[in-house]
């Protein structure tokens, strides 16, 4: 069966509104003969005369009268789909965005982002959820609007990414810990007890391993699932937590942070989203606000020595 000519819907809508072949032709910029041929095609497609002569004019058949409102609605909806997006009115925007972030990101950047959003678009709500893995399925199926993290080399084309800031690892211990005095050498770092962050719970999957100096050994005493938990353990013990600097600045207040001994690799934290939201005005606005917050020195603190 051949696909229907959807242009006929517009023609039918105008014919039913005008009740005249001549007036409908003028409105659509067609000749009267072209409009008559279009009406003949409509009669063939619908199996109904649609418009019949009554005196000097045309009147709709019962079937055409029943179709009038439905046709008008379909045409209006189609026109809305093809119409350019309207300018974003932040003052009237009412929308909830879900952001999936790594541990510590909300504490470091959430308050500044929420303040900017509230000032510009008071009807917008931000929902932050934890990021337990690297799976991009929540972005693809629409459960998550925006995500932050280190981009994997295997990131597929179904996800967009844009850099937010550079970060580095730091070691963190409680105030008064032996490592808070004197130079932290590779030997002292290795001999201390460590609490690692691993989403799987296995030492081999520690999230900091790709960025540590090659061959830097550690004595592992505990494994936890997130940076905030690692810092809580380190704050109440003699264990060392190795965490991202900017991510965790607000979480380690009152603790001592030091540079990792050796050539630790810096890394880029990016925001990720699905391509279907590329041109969405509200989503583009939110991405711009997040970039501004992460670029601001007030967005998160840096390494401090207690």
Per the model's pLDDT, the better-predicted residue between 294 and 302 turns out to be: 294
Among 43, 62, 82, residue at a domain's last position = 82
301 domain-assigned: no
Estimate to the nearest angstrom the gap between the alpha carbon of 40 and the chain centroid: 50
> Are 51 and 117 members of one domain?
no
| Last residue in a domain, options 48, 82, 116 | 82
Is residue 221 within 8 Å of 234, Cβ to Cβ?
Answer: no
Q: Could you say which of 51, 82, 113 is where a domain stops?
A: 82
Q: Are residues 38 and 76 in the same domain?
A: yes
Q: How many domains does the chain have?
A: 3
**Residue 153's pLDDT is what?**
60
- Whether the per-residue pLDDT at 243 is higher than 90: the answer is yes
Residue range 202-230: average pLDDT?
92
Pair 162, 283 in one domain: yes
Query: Is there a single domain that holds both residue 75 and residue 156?
Result: no
Kindly state the average pLDDT of the residues 28-51: 91
The better pLDDT of the pair 58, 77 is held by 58
CA 297 from chain center: how many Å? Answer: 23
- 40/43 Cα distance (integer angstroms): 5
Q: What is the pLDDT of residue 76?
A: 80
**Structural domain for 261, as ranges:** 169-265
pTM greater than 0.75 (yes/no): no
One domain for residues 184 and 261: yes
pLDDT in the model for residue 304: 46
Mean pLDDT of the chain: 88
Please give the pLDDT value at position 158.
76
Separation between Cα atoms, residue 19 and residue 33, nearest integer Å: 16
Q: Are residues 70 and 41 in the same domain?
A: yes
CATH number for the domain spanning 196: value is 3.40.190.10
pLDDT at 174: 97
Residues 259 and 272 in one domain: no
């Amino acid at each position: 069966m051949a696909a229907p000519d959807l242009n006929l819907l517009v023609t039918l809508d105008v014919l039913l509104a005008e009740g005249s072949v001549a007036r409908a032709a003028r409105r659509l910029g067609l000749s009267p003969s072209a409009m008559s041929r279009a009406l003949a095609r409509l009669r063939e497609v619908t199996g109904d005369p649609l418009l019949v002569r009554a005196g000097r004019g045309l009147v709709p058949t019962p079937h055409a009268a029943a179709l009038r409102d439905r046709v008008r609605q379909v045409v209006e909806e189609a026109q809305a789909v093809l119409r350019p997006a309207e300018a974003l009115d932040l003052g009237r925007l009412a929308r909830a965005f879900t952001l999936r972030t790594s541990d510590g990101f909300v504490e470091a950047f959430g308050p500044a982002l929420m303040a900017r959003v509230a000032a510009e678009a008071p009807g917008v709500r931000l929902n932050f959820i934890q990021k337990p893995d690297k799976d991009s399925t929540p972005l693809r199926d629409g459960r998550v609007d925006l995500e932050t993290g280190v981009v994997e080399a295997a990131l597929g084309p179904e996800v967009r990414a844009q850099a937010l800031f550079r970060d580095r690892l730091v070691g963190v211990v409680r105030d008064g810990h032996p490592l808070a005095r004197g130079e932290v050498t590779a030997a002292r770092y290795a001999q201390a007890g460590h609490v690692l962050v691993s989403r799987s719970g296995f030492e081999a999957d520690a999230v900091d391993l790709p960025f540590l100096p090659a061959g830097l050994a550690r004595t592992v005493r505990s494994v936890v699932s997130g940076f905030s938990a690692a810092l809580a353990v380190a704050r109440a013990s003699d264990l060392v937590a190795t965490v991202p600097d900017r991510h965790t600045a607000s979480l380690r207040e009152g603790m001592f942070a030091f540079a990792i001994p050796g050539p630790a690799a810096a890394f880029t934290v990016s925001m990720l989203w699905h391509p279907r939201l590329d041109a969405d005005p509200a989503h583009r606005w939110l991405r711009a606000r997040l970039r501004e917050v992460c670029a601001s020195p007030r967005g998160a603190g840096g390494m401090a020595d207690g």
